[in-house]
Amino acid sequence: MVFIGAIDKNSRVTAQQILSAIPPSNIYVGCSGNFTFDQMASRLGHSVHSNDVSLYSRLIAAVLMKEDFPIKCVNDELATVFQGWENTPYTSLIQVVFAIKIGEFSAKKNDCQCMMWNNYIAQNRQYFEGLLDWFTCNPLNYKIASFYFGDFKEHLQNAPQDATLLLYAPTYKAGCEKLYKFVEQSFEYERPNYVIFDSKLAGAYYAELLQTKRACIYSDMLYPETRDHLIGISDSGNKKTVYCYASIPDVRHTYMQSTAKLLPKIPIILRPHDQFSDNTEITVNAIPKNVVSHYKHLFMSAKVKYSLAGDFALGFFADRKLFGFAMFSKVLRTANEWDMLFLHSDFVVPSKIDRLSKLLLYLLRSKEVAQLITDHYVYDYRGLQTTVYTDKPVSMKYRGIFRKQENSKIGSLTYCAEFSNFTIKECYQKWKTRKPLL
């Protein structure tokens, strides 16, 4: 399946979190494109009202709503190809997808374009069967309540006052028209009415939406008119910054810088007889997960139940020597999964330094750790949660720094801790003087 107008990972993550925080309600999506936001909202129990002006999106909507949207191919060469394709609920959609792909070479300006065009024509049957198999394995089986084939401004304007609006409009003027030019020339169908949108001039319009309706808007433009509604900044992965504006109550802020740089090589480990001084510099950095997995086998107690799962790792350093490890997992469930990130494992190297494992817990609650986690997960977590597998009533390791949850089960204890407003340096000093992180 081609991903036309694909939404970047960071925007998908923040949209998922925003939609999860909203009780089931009417969600009006402007410029549905590949229906990424629509699918998220539908699977979370919302009533989704979709919209777009492209034939591609209109045919996706026809499949989702089990309705017929007639199209006629007027390109003689393509029409001959399509005559050999069986009629299925996905056939019209696959025809348009095929036209989008082969349209890249329709100009036939050089030998390469001619060769690519001829290859697609020659292998059209394999293309059709391949996409049909893909849809068989990945059916479009989520629900939308309606689809408006027209200008997204009209669609959003007609939304009821209590609806939530979700919009990621084209980022450059006439981008949709350029992408679908060959498709427009190759098919006859009932055309939508709309005005070409220019995101560079959208500041006043976005500000009005945010002031009058409950809305979430993504754009690669930073508008002076909407600064008061800015709740997120992230890297889209294609050298563009994406800004998220919202007028939805209680939405957590996300400010993501570029992904934390991993250490280029295996670091030096703190030696057992090394000591800390008043001038010891404590730092933290993202490290490869396989580094943590390697040292788990060496340094983690054999009595501890652990796995090698986890999706993000941090290393803690004293004067550039690695002494502590932490692994996190967003996949594993927590008591309050949208606010507390699961601390999958934490351990330190063997050392003569007293209470070194306690220092690691102090540092895990620092501002710098919170920022690294926000940068990686594109979400402003409130704190950490972990599970201790033990029959004892309390964990001496976590006591005093993390808070034991009352809902702990037999054979395990659940501990939580919110991130503090203290820097790593301040956390280090509090550990030395045995002061709590209040």
Per-residue pLDDT of the chain (438 residues; tens, 9 = 90+): 444 557 877 788 888 888 988 899 999 999 999 999 999 999 999 999 999 999 999 999 999 999 999 999 999 999 999 999 999 999 999 999 999 999 989 999 999 999 999 999 999 999 999 999 999 888 898 999 999 999 999 999 999 999 999 999 987 665 566 668 899 999 999 999 999 888 888 999 999 999 999 999 999 888 889 888 888 777 666 667 888 899 988 776 655 544 444 555 567 889 888 999 888 999 999 998 888 877 876 776 555 555 556 889 999 999 999 999 999 988 765 545 567 899 988 999 989 999 999 999 999 999 999 999 988 887 788 899 998 888 788 888 898 999 988 766 677 888 999 999 999 999 999 999 988 887
Sign of the alpha-carbon torsion through 273, 279, 282, 283: negative
Measured at the alpha carbon of residue 389, what is the angle toward residues 384 and 391, in degrees to the nearest 5? 130
Distances in Å between the Cα of 108 and the Cα atoms of 102, 114, 117, 181, 210 are 11, 5, 8, 15, 46
Mutual angle of helices 91-103 and 124-137, in 10-degree steps: 130
Structural domains in the chain, CATH included, are 9-255 (3.40.50), 282-432 (3.40.630.30)
Where on the phi/psi map is residue 222: left (φ > 0), alpha (ψ -120 to 50), or beta? beta
Closest C-alpha to 397, from 280, 300, 294: 300
Specify the amino acid at residue 273.
Answer: H
Alpha helices in 65-174 (DSSP H): 76-82, 91-103, 111-122, 124-137, 152-157
The model's pTM: 0.63
Q: Give the separation between CA 186 and CA 37, rounded to whole angstroms.
A: 29
Q: Give the separation between CA 20 and CA 79, rounded to whole angstroms.
A: 44
Q: Give the separation between CA 326 and CA 284, rounded to whole angstroms.
A: 10
Distances in Å between the Cα of 36 and the Cα atoms of 16, 131, 134, 316 are 10, 19, 17, 38
Q: Give the separation between CA 279 and CA 319, rounded to whole angstroms.
A: 9
